[in-house]
Amino acid sequence: MTDYVVAATEADGNRLGERVTSAAPTLAEASRFGDSHGTNYVSVRHGHDITLYAREVSGTWSVLVADAPAPVVVEIRRQHALHRPGQRRGQDPERRPGQYPGQKPQQNGDGDLPLFEYDPAPENEYELSAIGVDGEVFGDRLCSVAPTPAEVAELGDLHEANYVMAGQPGHDMVTLYGRDARGSWSVIAADVDVDTAEEVCLWFDLTQHYQGRSPAGRHPLDEGLPAAGDGPAAAAQAVSLVVEHIRARRLDYPTEGLTADRFTGGWSVYAPAEVAESDPMAFLDIPVGRSVFLVGDTGRVKEVSSSVPPRQAEEMFAAEETYARRQTAEERYVASLWEGAARLVSDPEGSPGISSFTVDSPSEEEIAAVASRLIGPIAQQLALLGPPGWDRFTAVFSFTVSAEVAQLRFRSGKRTTEVRVPEQLAMLVRRQRHLAARMPAGPWWRLLLTVAHTAGTGARMTTDYDYGGEPFPAEDLLNPEHYRNDLAAYPRPQIPAWLSAYVTGSGGPGHTASTSTEAPRVAPRAPRQDQAVQGVPRPTSAAPTAASVPDGWNGSRTSTPPSAAELPARPGSGQRPVLAPGASGPVPEPVLDAKVDWKTLHADPHVITHGRTSIELEQAEWVSYSVTQTATKRLLFPTSYFTVWEFMVGRYPYYGGPRVTVRLSRVGRRADEPAEWTFLVNLVRRYLEPRLLGELVDRVRRGETVTLAGSVQVSRAGIACKKPKVSLPWNSIRTQIQNGVITIWRPGVQKPVLTVPLSHPNASLIPALFAAFTT
């Protein structure tokens, strides 16, 4: 049984004393504890429920609220203090024994009962409160002006709290600050109401500090986890969802013989390791860090590593599910009132005056208001992901209970930047959608946010809930089974005719977008391939073209991907890489399926996957491929040659951004070029480099300065480099590729003025890009 924590507090929540009892205190015991500490408030915590006692002006004690959550108690105590005489802490440090804080010795009309006279707080005063994740106040401070980040961090560190709430007394809006897992303080939500601050605080704590069920059940997410449900059908459905997840991402993971184990709120699906019991060393063959898939009862799939303790991973997953579907503070408060009233009616020793009762639940308008207010913090978190100087961003979320796709685009002038939406932020959007599901229209299927911001002015936000009045764009359309899962979780009276036909398989859109059941991903639209950029050939063949790539670079000049017959067999494998025809177009799409470094390598015009890393070509921002050969000669031994072929494709930032790397090596002076590497190079030349080249040329023609290969700056005036320091106009530049290096020459100079290794990002685009401005 959880003990009762009795705390004597001031009006601002600051604790003056505390004790723990095994039984709930009576009103008389609570009043004596408050009197002994010279305060007007006593709170009694039991689990997550708090009962608040208060001293009235007459001097008598009463119960303000019973068995309520912490945010409700904090608000009721604050309102009670504002509507009764009282003085703020620190304004009257000297008082006689028995005189309460702020009390001035006066007499009432009868001449014997002390009255309380309080000085009003300054209008521009700010109150800072160090709080816990459940809203419990640990200490506070007053500021005459808006607090600085240093002042916020100081108060939080002083009380060992991860959160600080700041606001002006009597105002409804507050700003919530939080300390992340690294110890850094920042604004989590600005200018929100207390209920929204509670929602965002719990979300932030879940993503930064929650590591499974906390000791003594002190975390709000430790209670109310979804009830367990068993059955072969549920297990089979969980395995089916995982198999779809693996195939959609082309993961190097078995799809046969998967096992599903039940835990509270979901299933753990994995490929069991086969270990021979008779071999005492067989445990060494068990794979370390292999994926395990957690499947929620609503259908959400999350991939985790087996290196994470199973109990910790499962409790974290259950907490995420609980956060998305938990009741609001007002709903929990109303539920506690209902339970309390029900106990009084059923108790034979209870008050005989209660024969029936009615507790009104929050209206649909109130729930809709809670969901609407959560949009602000979501937009604030999205804004932090943008590049410096952005003036507009658009976010599109296409969600169901079992699949999620997000797109986020920032605009800076005429430049557009696409940014990935992290999984942590998806949790907050998931929560908002669950709250919006209480509205008559049900949960949205697409949420569109547009925020415009100009320096020196406030941001303008536009929100649009899409319930399927028109067919969804192809990049936002999920597989039919995900809409069926959503309708099972959130039944609604009617759905659009086109979506009904699509879900039932009797019609609807003719293509299905790829889906993600884990982290939202950006799905940008590829640029049109039927438009030519001035000075650049149409991307109907490889770029750079044969004319722009000089001879002498290790035989990698090919304008189109080779056919299956043209690809040589992989040395030592006894088989060729598999080329499978595509599903659309008059010409089959090239597809590569092979093994490199014991990992599955898949490549097609849409995606490249190596092992567990994957990137879509339409998302890629840079590419590099190179060949290096090392010769070693030692005394009495012949010279040995070691050749490495490297291929990389990824997104910025170059260090730390997502990327796929494939390295192949051969021993011998004239080692054959690996077929896999040749295929990858030709694939990106045909399907990726034309887009990258067109974007770079367009940016330069608009007046921007772009950077290639990490150091070469390209503008309409010419090229420049800081180290070595070079600045050349376009009419004095020529390039050449030789021995894996791009050399840049100046007419009349016998030595190159600049050399760029082809292993640098987008270095292969230099010849064609320069040709666009020198011809």
The number of residues in the chain equals: 775
Dihedral in degrees, nearest 10, Cα atoms 468, 469, 470, 476: -20
SS3 582: coil
Q: What is the pLDDT of residues 347-399, one digit of tens each?
A: 555 444 555 555 555 566 666 677 888 999 999 999 999 988 898 999 999 99
- Work out whether strand 613-616 and strand 622-632 pair parallel, antiparallel, or are unpaired: unpaired
369 φ/ψ angles, rounded to the nearest 5 degrees = -65, -40
Which range has the worst mean pLDDT, 222-236, 682-696, 739-753?
A: 222-236
Whether residues 13 and 113 share a domain: the answer is yes
Whether residues 335 and 383 share a domain: the answer is no
- Asked if residue 525 has pLDDT above 70, the reply is no
Could you tell me how many helices (H) and strands (E) the chain has, helices first? Answer: 15, 33
- Asked if residue 664 has pLDDT above 90, the reply is no
The number of domains in the chain is: 6
- Asked if residue 7 has pLDDT above 60, the reply is yes
Query: Which pLDDT score is estimated for 217?
Result: 52
**Banded pLDDT at 440 (limits 50, 70, 90):** confident
Mean per-residue pLDDT of the chain: 75
How many beta carbons lie within 10 A of that of residue 10, not counting itself?
24
Which range has the worst mean pLDDT, 71-75, 100-104, 276-280, 339-343?
A: 100-104
Sheet order of strands, 41-46 included = 15-21, 4-9, 41-46, 49-55, 61-68
Query: Which pLDDT score is estimated for 398?
Result: 95
Mean pLDDT of 701-720: 86
Query: Which pLDDT score is estimated for 428?
Result: 94
How far apart are the C-alpha atoms of 69 and 62, rounded to whole Å?
A: 18
% of the chain surpassing 70 pLDDT: 71
**Banded pLDDT at 633 (limits 50, 70, 90):** low
Query: Which pLDDT score is estimated for 223?
Result: 64
- Asked if residue 154 has pLDDT above 80, the reply is yes
Query: Which pLDDT score is estimated for 547?
Result: 28
Q: What is the pLDDT of residues 551-571, one digit of tens each?
A: 332 333 223 333 333 333 333
| CATH at residue 410 | 3.30.500.20
Query: Which pLDDT score is estimated for 449?
Result: 93
Mean pLDDT of 685-708: 89
- Asked if residue 609 has pLDDT above 90, the reply is yes
Look at 359 and 409; give whichever has higher pLDDT. 409
Which range has the worst mean pLDDT, 11-20, 291-300, 396-405, 664-673?
A: 664-673
Which range has the worst mean pLDDT, 35-49, 216-230, 473-487, 595-609?
A: 216-230
Task: Assess if residue 767 is contained within a domain.
Answer: yes
Query: Which pLDDT score is estimated for 632?
Result: 58
Query: Which pLDDT score is estimated for 684?
Result: 92
Mean pLDDT of 628-634: 65
Task: Assess if residue 671 is contained within a domain.
Answer: no
Which range has the worst mean pLDDT, 202-211, 463-472, 669-678?
A: 669-678
Task: Assess if residue 574 is contained within a domain.
Answer: no
Which range has the worst mean pLDDT, 334-343, 361-370, 520-529?
A: 520-529
- What phi-psi label fits residue 238: left (phi over 0), alpha (psi between -120 and 50 degrees) or beta? alpha
- The maximal CA–CA distance of the chain, rounded, in angstroms, is 116
Are 20 and 147 in contact by the 8 Å Cβ rule? The answer is: no
- Asked if residue 604 has pLDDT above 80, the reply is yes
Whether residues 105 and 131 share a domain: the answer is no
How many beta carbons lie within 10 A of that of residue 388, not counting itself?
5
Task: Assess if residue 596 is contained within a domain.
Answer: no
Are 63 and 27 in contact by the 8 Å Cβ rule? The answer is: yes
Whether residues 24 and 116 share a domain: the answer is yes
Domain that holds residue 390: 366-504
Whether residues 499 and 370 share a domain: the answer is yes
Look at 215 and 257; give whichever has higher pLDDT. 257
How far apart are the C-alpha atoms of 78 and 171, rounded to whole Å?
A: 11
Whether residues 195 and 310 share a domain: the answer is no
Mean pLDDT of 84-104: 39
Whether residues 344 and 378 share a domain: the answer is no
Per the listing, tokens 């700003």 go with 175
- Asked if residue 505 has pLDDT above 50, the reply is yes
Mean pLDDT of 480-489: 88
Look at 357 and 144; give whichever has higher pLDDT. 144
- Asked if residue 204 has pLDDT above 90, the reply is yes
Q: What is the pLDDT of residues 180-192, one digit of tens each?
A: 988 999 999 998 8
**Of 585, 559, 565, 586, residue with least CA distance to 577:** 565
Task: Assess if residue 568 is contained within a domain.
Answer: no
**Banded pLDDT at 617 (limits 50, 70, 90):** very high
- Asked if residue 2 has pLDDT above 80, the reply is no
Angle between helices 423-436 and 364-373 (to 10 degrees): 160
Whether residues 376 and 495 share a domain: the answer is yes
How far apart are the C-alpha atoms of 220 and 204, rounded to whole Å?
A: 13
Query: Which pLDDT score is estimated for 631?
Result: 66
CA angle 228, 318, 256 (to 5 degrees): 75
Whether residues 392 and 481 share a domain: the answer is yes
Query: Which pLDDT score is estimated for 661?
Result: 92
Peptide bond into 724 cis (omega under 30): yes
Mean pLDDT of 519-527: 33
Query: Which pLDDT score is estimated for 225?
Result: 52
Whether residues 449 and 474 share a domain: the answer is yes
Task: Assess if residue 635 is contained within a domain.
Answer: no
Whether residues 349 and 390 share a domain: the answer is no
Task: Assess if residue 721 is contained within a domain.
Answer: yes
Task: Assess if residue 646 is contained within a domain.
Answer: no
Look at 313 and 104; give whichever has higher pLDDT. 313
Peptide bond into 473 cis (omega under 30): no
Q: What is the distance between the terminal CA atoms of the chain, rounded to a whole angstrom?
A: 83
Query: Which pLDDT score is estimated for 203?
Result: 93
Whether residues 375 and 478 share a domain: the answer is yes
Q: What is the pLDDT of residues 95-117, one digit of tens each?
A: 333 333 333 333 333 333 333 33
Mean pLDDT of 645-651: 92
8 φ/ψ angles, rounded to the nearest 5 degrees = -90, 120
CB neighbour burial string for 629-646, b if at least 16 within 10 angstroms, e if fewer: beeeeeeeeeeeeebebb
Query: Which pLDDT score is estimated for 362?
Result: 58
Query: Which pLDDT score is estimated for 366?
Result: 67
Query: Which pLDDT score is estimated for 232?
Result: 55
Which range has the worst mean pLDDT, 203-207, 303-307, 536-540, 686-690?
A: 536-540
Query: Which pLDDT score is estimated for 735?
Result: 79
Which range has the worst mean pLDDT, 355-359, 463-467, 612-616?
A: 355-359
Query: Where are the alpha helices (H) located in 135-276, listed in sequence order?
Result: 149-158, 194-208, 232-249
- Asked if residue 344 has pLDDT above 70, the reply is no
